[in-house]
Structure 1
Amino acid sequence: MIKIHMFSSATKVAGQGVGSAYTELMGLLQRHFPETFDVRVNDYSASDISHYHTIDPQFFLTMHEKKRGRRIGYVHFLPETLKGSLSIPWPADDVFYKYVIAFYKAMDQLVVVNPSFIPKLADYGIPASTVEYIPNFVSQQDFYAYPADQKRSLRSALGIAPGAFVVFGNGQVQERKGVRDFITLAQTHPDVTFIWAGGFSFGRLTDGYSDFKKAIDNAPKNLTFTGIIPREKMRDYYNVADLFLLPSYDELFPMSVLEAFACGVPVMLRDLSLYHSIINNRYLPAADEREMAAQLERVVADPAALAPWRAQAKAAAQYYSEDRLAGIWAKFYTAQAALGQRTRRRSS
């Protein structure tokens, strides 16, 4: 068996996509390859592969030991993406951003979930030859569409009015996620029900914390902020939604979009160029809040206009399925273990 040691603290902070991606990969390996890969978590004994999901300092201090095997780093963010998420005072921010890149440079191989990050990493001096693109995925055992009668019952239980058009969004409440536009849309569309699931995963360090706290406390009646909820509960909200909206200004490959796809929910996104190489033509595009409003008004007036986007969601869910990605991860880990063995033989 190939020994893979996962190094992660991703699930310690609730409500973030890094934890969801980590949980999905662990589930995939346990379900598909229990006899191929010996997977352990935060185990410092000898391994063939050490896969780093988070950039904890204690991981960095031990990663140079030979017994770590082939070092794989998961790239969930770059310094520029952190700037819209966390409010870190100068000069601590500069030190932290340099540490992030130093962590990535210490890896033998990096994995990105969006190919648009490969040239950005190259700008930091990391060769494209050491970066592999493997997209995120969602297990359809965990995220799936409910029958119509179950959706109706759930809407009633959540206090959603019969016939209401529901727009659902989720993620950390922070500047980068475009939550301000979500709030504005709720204010300007009082006849539409808006729900945002997520909160301040990093507390007062969250970029824009004070302003968002006030906005949540004074949200319009048609907008509900659920706070941070368990991931398994998130499935209920996708299933009561007519439309999933993520107005983020910067993303890699948001797990929430894949979850919405898996539940068969039409998706509207701010039309970021980084989406074009991974889910182009699978979502309703909108350049800004004004275009989001126009798209929303069109589908509220004519719900049948959502039918093609519901079909696109289902098609995307099949493409980014666990079964397809299982083969990609198996091939990747097997190749990386072989590279590690060759390296050890040359150095011995």
Structure 2
Amino acid sequence: MIKVTMFSSAQKVAGQGVGSAYKELMRLLQTYLADDFTVRVNKYGRSDISHYHTIDPQFYLSTFFPNRGRKVGYVHFLPETLVGSLQIPKIFQKVVSWYIISFYKRMDQIIVVNPSFIPRLEEYGLDPDKITYIPNFVSKSEFYPLNTEQKEQLRVKYQIDPDKFVILGDGQVQKRKGIDDFYRLAQNNPQLQFIWAGGFSFGKMTDGYERYQQMIADPPANLLFTGIVPREQLNEYLNLADLFLLPSYDELFPMSVLEAFNTETPVLLRNLDLYKAIIDGYYLAAADYSQFNQAIQQLTQDSQQLKWWAQQSQKAAAYYSEEHLSQIWRDFYRKQLR
């Protein structure tokens, strides 16, 4: 049995993708790979592999301890993406950037969830031979499609007009997520129902916190901000929606998109190069607010096109399945010991 120690504080912060990715990998190891690996969390004893999910200072110090085995690090963000999410005083930004990259350089192997980040890490001085691409995935037992009758019941449960076209967004309320475009689309399409499932995972540290607090306090009548919701409730929101919309400006491999794929909900995203490397062909793309609005108008009037994109979501869910990724993770961990 291979001993793997997970180091993570992601589970302490609700409503963020890092925590979801960590939970999914733990589930996979304990369900599909339990015969191959023993897993401990935040323990400093002897280990074959130490897998770091978050960059806490105490975890950084532990990389200097003996008997850590192979040190594996997850890249969930780069310095520039972190600065775009949190309010970090300029005087500290260089220090934060140095710390993040220093942490990654302490690893024997780095994992990225999007191959587009490999050249950016190279620019920071990391060895490309020590970088491995492994995509995210989500559990079919937590995110799955419901039948028509169940979806109708959810509309009743959440007091959503059964005849309304529902557009769902998901994630932290912050500028990087494109929340301003989402809000504007709701304002200019009062005939549609918009829902944003998510809140302020990092509270007042969130970039633009005060302004977004005001937006949430006074939304258009057709826009519902749910706040942070548990995963089982998020599955319900995805199923009652006709379209999933994530207008983010910068992502790695958003868990929310995989969750939408699993529920076979059509997906509309901002046209970002980083998506093309991982999910090209499975989603509808728009470059800006105007194209988002145009795409929405077309989808609300063309049920066949909407059905086709639902089928693409189904195909994506099959590719990024637990069964597929379990073999990839098994091979990766075994390779570390060789």
Same fold (TM over 0.5): yes
Q: Which runs of 5+ in 1 are unaligned?
A: 339-348
Question: Per-residue displacement from partner, 1:178-232 (whole Å, max 9, x unpaired)?
Answer: 0000000000000000000110111111001011111111100100000011122
Match of 1:181 in 2: 181
Q: Which runs of 5+ in 2 are unaligned?
A: none
**Residues 165-314 of structure 1: pairs in structure 2 closer than 5 A:** 165-314=165-314
RMSD: 0.7
What SS does the aligned partner of 1:164 have? coil
Aligned residues: 338
What SS does the aligned partner of 1:51 have? strand
Post-superposition shift, 1:305?
1.6
Match of 1:107 in 2: 107
Could you tell me how far apart the structure 2 residues matched to 1:162 and 1:14 are?
A: 30
Post-superposition shift, 1:65?
1.6
Match of 2:57 in 1: 57
What SS does the aligned partner of 2:129 have? helix
Question: Per-residue displacement from partner, 1:67-120 (whole Å, max 9, x unpaired)?
Answer: 100000000000111122001112122211110000000000000000000000
Could you tell me how far apart the structure 2 residues matched to 1:62 and 1:326 are?
A: 27
Does 29-38 or 249-258 show the bigger shift? 29-38
**Residues 115-126 of structure 1: pairs in structure 2 closer than 5 A:** 115-126=115-126
In the alignment, structure 1 residue 73 sits paired with structure 2 residue 112? no
- Name the aligned partner's letter for residue 220 of structure 1: P
Question: Per-residue displacement from partner, 1:269-313 (whole Å, max 9, x unpaired)?
Answer: 001000001001111100011100000011112222211101100
Post-superposition shift, 1:238?
0.4
Could you tell me how far apart the structure 2 residues matched to 1:322 and 1:138 are?
A: 7
Question: Per-residue displacement from partner, 1:224-245 (whole Å, max 9, x unpaired)?
Answer: 0000111221100000000000
Could you tell me how far apart the structure 1 residues matched to 2:301 and 2:309 are?
A: 16
**Would you identify which runs of 4 or more consecutive aligned residues in structure 1 move more than 3 Å?**
none
Match of 1:320 in 2: 320
Match of 2:333 in 1: 333
In the alignment, structure 1 residue 17 sits paired with structure 2 residue 3? no
Post-superposition shift, 1:64?
1.6
- Name the aligned partner's letter for residue 43 of structure 2: D
What SS does the aligned partner of 2:114 have? coil
What SS does the aligned partner of 1:116 have? helix
Could you tell me how far apart the structure 2 residues matched to 1:299 and 1:313 are?
A: 15
CA contact (8 A) 2:142 2:231 kept: no
What SS does the aligned partner of 1:248 have? coil
Identity %: 57
Post-superposition shift, 1:142?
1.1
What SS does the aligned partner of 2:278 have? helix
User: Scaled by the length of structure 2, what TM-score is found?
Assistant: 0.99
Could you tell me how far apart the structure 1 residues matched to 2:230 and 2:25 are?
A: 18
Could you tell me how far apart the structure 1 residues matched to 2:81 and 2:16 are?
A: 14
